[in-house]
């Protein structure tokens, strides 16, 4: 297979009125998020819906979502540079950028939700290495540095090229460690029955692929659309199928997570609470995570008739993000809402809410802080794309696949499908 | 700051700044222990460490020692339902406010009612001062730590308020300070945005006093003492009667025991 055409990358126009309007909108959300964080720190966390029972709220949902999405957004780059799929090569820079931006947004929310964000320097200099959280501080900051280096190796072609392979491999392994570490934040909680499981690590890896790819696709499609860059069917269908596959993989781990818990007698109460409690968590699980966030996108992504259909891909991506946020909400907040079992066999009550389901209603500042993280991500992407060359001028079929290799594969696939269809006896 | 005491090297230091001042090494690091206990010990009057001819606490110039494991025995059969003297005593001693009932209120110790088919029992639950505390394991900065004598504390100087310890604690024993606080006690610095919990009244224990809750309990439902000393009342009581601990299956080896459950 020969693909020797050089890819031409170009910045987006950073001086157009549309660009400024976009920047202004993002800036407004970022300002609201930062203002919300200031408000929360100034008044204390009692202005949030969080309490001593639900200690992590919506900010953690956004933070965890964005941090693991960062890992998944880098997947496209890994496929191109670690697994040498040349088709994805033109997307590597963009993939690295979205990953970096998503990580920045997630970390911003995580840090600003601390009780003492002013002590960030303590978190960066004082470590307890028995804590997976401390390891994650290294994993998060490390990924920043590694992606930056990886991007440099892609973009500084003369000096960087010889580091490209090793940077790509390091980034690939590092992000697997990062998502393992993030999943283990929950997996290592011995007393919380909803969490304490090794499956949290691979589950989070699979979730990262889903969230990251959905964000990446939305940014890719909208950028191409807004800057009049052709986006061909070949790239679209490949990414579409990939999204379908990672969604199936995630669904498999979700099944594993809940079925193993249902099998253990001591964990049945918490599972029944989350899945069949008739509460916000069971609604979010069945309606948003499973129906809207898994089944519907799978139809949109894997149905042969919708191959390469931009609207289907955009809708699927949006649904995957909404479903993903619901999934993280159920994991983080649902897992805390179920009361800890201090005295099994007794009916427990106290003035401090023992034995009661934790009540949590997110407040506006929390949501704004979370949205501020999303704005941070988008802001980094938009500013970086105007400053440096991240996206090719064309992703049209003829440019990404000048030898029509993938065209031929597609045609063969279609021929096989048609032949199969004819083989199926029609019953009248 | 009007409350001053002798610092580690003998110079006067504000009490707030000494009580939990530590270095960030592991909880049992001798230098850390030294700083801690020096600080704790210096906040108190010296020379009261002999009770009945047997050393109970330690001289001010010595660190707390692993030879002591402070523990608490809760006798649920004596604990009166509706009585909250231990909770009130703790609140007064440490100055954590809130009338209770708000999910954001700090709650260092709480009265829990247990009901099964045959009976109702009432008992206090507080930090269980585990030998293997999950809160200490998960704390990213080492702010959660365990003293050599078994008391689990939060170093308010390096707590970043991440609340991971609260996620990890199997006993729901920790509180996050959700709003501004007033009326702080010189021996108990607290602050918005940090996590806190029962200190087993380390400041009192280090000057040979009982924790405030134990001292206040009129029903003699609480016994405090050195679990490692076979002659101590708590050890004798534990030897004589069966006891249990909360969630023994987690193998955290709490220092708080319960009888009459």
Report pLDDT digits (tens) over A52-102: 999 999 999 999 999 999 999 999 999 988 888 888 999 999 999 999 999
Q: How far is A208 from chain B (nearest CA, A)?
A: 22
Half-sphere exposure in the Cβ direction for A349 (13 Å, CA): 6
How many domains in chain B?
1
Q: Which two tokens stand for residue B107?
A: 């709650």
Task: Give the Cα separation of A74 and A241 in Å (integer).
Answer: 17
The SS3 of residue B244 is strand
Q: In whole numbers, what is the pLDDT of chain A averaged over residues?
A: 93
Q: Which residue has the tokens 């394991």?
A: B137
pLDDT tens-digit map of A331-341: 999 999 999 99
CB contact under 8 A, B178 and A45: yes
Q: Which of A4-13, A281-290, A306-315, A359-368 has the lowest mean pLDDT?
A: A4-13
Please name which of A157, A31, A343, A292 lies closest in space to residue B248, comparing C-alpha atoms: A343
- What pLDDT shows up at residue A426? 55
β-bridge mates for residue A392, sequence order = A9
Q: How far apart are CA A40 and CA A30, in angstroms?
A: 15
Beta strand pairing call for B144-146 and A391-392:
unpaired
Can you tell me whether residue B245 is helix, strand or coil? coil
Helices (H), A118-190: 120-125, 132-155, 157-187
User: What's the gap in Å between the CA of B188 and the closest CA on chain A?
Assistant: 19
Query: Scanning every residue of chain B, which has its alpha carbon at the shortest distance from the alpha carbon of A122?
Result: B158
Structure tokens at B237: 């009581």
- Distance, in angstroms, between B127 CA and closest chain A CA? 13
Q: What CATH code is carried by the domain that includes residue B68?
A: 3.30.70.20
> Cβ–Cβ of A45/B193 closer than 8 Å?
yes
B201-222 average pLDDT score: 96
Look at residue A369 and tell me whether its pLDDT is greater than 70: yes
Assess B66–A contact: CB distance below 8 Å, yes or no: no
Residue B79 has pLDDT above 90, yes or no: yes
B248 in contact with A at a CB cutoff of 8 Å? no
Terminal C-alpha separation, chain A: 46
Residue in A54, A114, A126 nearest the CB of B158 = A126
Query: DSSP assignment, residue A129?
Result: T
Closest chain A residue to the Cα of B99, Cα to Cα: A351
CA A36, A40, A41, A43 torsion-angle sign? positive
In this complex, do A115 and B166 lie within 8 Å of one another by their Cβ atoms?
no
Q: How close is the nearest chain B Cα to the Cα of A361, in Å? A: 12
Q: In terms of DSSP bridges, do strands B175-176 and A9-10 run parallel, antiparallel, or are they unpaired?
A: unpaired
> Which DSSP category does B201 fall into?
T
CB–CB of B140 and A119 under 8 A?
no
A251 closest CA partner among A320, A310, A333: A320
CB pairs under 8 A between A and B: 178
d(Cα A323, Cα A153) in Å, to the nearest integer? 35
* A191 reaches B (C-beta below 8 A): yes
* Contact list, A49 vs chain B (CB under 8 Å): none
Read off the pLDDT of residues B171-211 as tens digits, 9 standing for 90 and up.
Answer: 999 999 999 998 889 999 899 999 999 999 999 999 999 99
Q: Which residues of chain A have a CB within 8 Å of the CB of B167?
A: 55-56, 189, 192, 336
pLDDT score at B44: 45
pLDDT at A317: 98
ipTM reported for the complex, 2 dp: 0.91
Q: The tokens 């303590």 sit on which residue?
A: A122
Domains for chain A: give ranges and CATH numbers: 9-420 (1.20.1630.10)
Contacts of B146 in chain A (CB under 8 A): none
Distance, in Å, from the CA atom of A125 to the CA atom of A138, rounded to the nearest integer, reads 11
DSSP 8-state class, residue A340: P
CA nearest to B190, candidates B85, B102, B93, B71? B93
The first and second tokens of residue B119, run together, are 């009976």
Other residues' Cβ atoms within 10 Å of the Cβ of residue B180:
11
C-alpha B131 chain-centroid distance: 13
- Closest CB from B179, B194, B246 relative to A46: B179
**Residue numbers in A near B100 (CB within 8 A):** 351-352
| Residue A121 forms contact with B (CB below 8 Å) | no
Residue A33 contacts by C-beta under 8 Å, 6 or more apart in sequence? Answer: A108, A109, A112, A368, A369, A370, A371, A372, A373, A375, A376
Nearest CB to B172 within list A44, A185, A340:
A340
Q: Cα torsion for A141, A146, A148, A154, to the nearest 10°?
A: -170
Contact (Cβ atoms closer than 8 angstroms) between residue A208 and residue A266: no
Q: B160 and A119 in contact by Cβ < 8 A? A: yes
Range of the domain at B201: 4-259
The pLDDT tens digits for A176-218 are 999 999 999 999 999 899 999 999 999 999 999 999 999 999 9
């Amino acid at each position: 297979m020969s693909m020797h055409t050089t890819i031409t990358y170009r910045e987006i126009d950073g001086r157009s009125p549309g660009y400024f309007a976009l920047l202004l909108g993002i800036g407004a959300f970022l300002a609201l998020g930062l203002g919300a964080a200031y408000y929360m720190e100034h008044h204390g966390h009692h202005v949030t819906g969080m309490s001593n029972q639900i200690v992590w709220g919506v900010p953690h949902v956004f933070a965890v979502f964005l941090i693991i999405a960062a890992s998944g957004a880098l997947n496209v780059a890994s496929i191109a540079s670690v697994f040498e799929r040349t088709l994805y090569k033109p997307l590597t820079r963009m993939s690295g950028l979205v990953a970096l931006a998503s990580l920045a947004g997630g970390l911003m929310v995580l840090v600003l939700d601390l009780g003492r964000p002013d002590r960030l320097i303590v978190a960066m200099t004082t470590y307890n290495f028995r804590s997976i959280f401390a390891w994650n501080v290294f994993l998060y900051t490390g990924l920043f540095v590694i992606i930056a280096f990886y991007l440099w190796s892609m973009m500084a072609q003369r000096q960087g090229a010889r580091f490209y392979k090793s940077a790509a491999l390091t980034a690939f392994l590092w992000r697997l460690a990062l998502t393992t570490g993030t999943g283990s934040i929950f997996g290592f909680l011995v007393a919380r029955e909803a969490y304490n499981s090794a499956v949290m690590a691979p589950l989070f890896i699979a979730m990262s692929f889903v969230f990251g790819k959905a964000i990446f696709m939305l940014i890719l499609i909208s950028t191409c659309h807004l800057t009049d860059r052709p986006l061909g069917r070949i790239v679209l269908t490949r990414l579409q199928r990939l999204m379908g596959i990672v969604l199936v993989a995630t669904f498999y781990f979700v099944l594993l997570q809940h079925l193993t818990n249902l099998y253990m007698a001591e964990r049945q109460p918490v599972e029944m609470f989350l899945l069949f409690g008739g509460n916000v968590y069971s609604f979010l699980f069945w309606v948003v995570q499973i129906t809207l966030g898994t089944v519907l996108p799978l139809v949109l992504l894997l149905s042969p008739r919708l191959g390469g259909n931009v609207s289907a891909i955009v809708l699927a991506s949006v649904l995957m993000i909404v479903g993903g946020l619901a999934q993280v909400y159920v994991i983080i907040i649902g897992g805390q809402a179920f009361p800890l079992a201090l005295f099994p066999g007794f009916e427990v009550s106290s003035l401090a809410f023992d034995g009661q389901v934790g009540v949590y209603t997110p407040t506006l500042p929390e949501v704004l802080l979370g949205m501020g993280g999303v704005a941070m991500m988008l802001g980094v992407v938009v500013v970086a794309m105007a400053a440096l060359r991240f996206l090719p001028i064309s992703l049209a079929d003829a440019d990404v696949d000048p030898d029509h290799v993938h065209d031929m594969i597609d045609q063969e696939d279609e021929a096989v499908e048609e032949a199969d269809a004819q083989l199926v006896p029609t019953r009248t | 700051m009007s409350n001053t005491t002798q610092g580690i090297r003998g110079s006067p230091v504000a009490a707030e700044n000494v009580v939990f001042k530590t270095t960030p090494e592991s909880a049992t690091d001798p230098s850390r222990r030294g700083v801690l206990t020096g600080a704790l010990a210096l906040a108190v009057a010296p020379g009261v460490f002999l009770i009945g001819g047997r050393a109970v606490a330690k001289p001010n110039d010595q660190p707390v020692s692993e030879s002591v494991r402070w523990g608490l025995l809760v006798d649920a059969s004596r604990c009166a339902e509706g009585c909250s003297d231990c909770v009130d005593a703790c609140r007064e001693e440490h100055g954590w406010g809130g009338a209770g009932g708000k999910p954001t209120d700090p709650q260092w110790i709480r009265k829990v009612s247990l009901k099964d088919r045959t009976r109702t029992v009432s008992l206090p639950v507080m930090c269980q001062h585990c030998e293997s505390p999950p809160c200490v394991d998960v704390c990213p900065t080492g702010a959660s730590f365990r003293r050599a004598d078994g008391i689990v504390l939060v170093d308010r100087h390096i707590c970043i308020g991440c609340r991971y310890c609260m996620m990890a604690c199997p006993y729901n024993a920790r509180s996050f300070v959700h709003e501004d606080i007033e009326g702080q006690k010189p021996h108990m610095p607290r602050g918005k945005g940090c996590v806190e919990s029962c200190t087993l009244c380390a400041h009192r224990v280090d000057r040979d006093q009982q924790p405030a809750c134990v001292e206040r309990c009129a029903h003699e439902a609480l016994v405090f003492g050195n679990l490692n000393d076979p002659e101590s009342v708590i050890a004798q009581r534990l030897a004589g009667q069966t006891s249990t601990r909360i969630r023994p299956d987690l193998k955290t080896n709490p220092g708080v025991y319960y009888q009459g459950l």
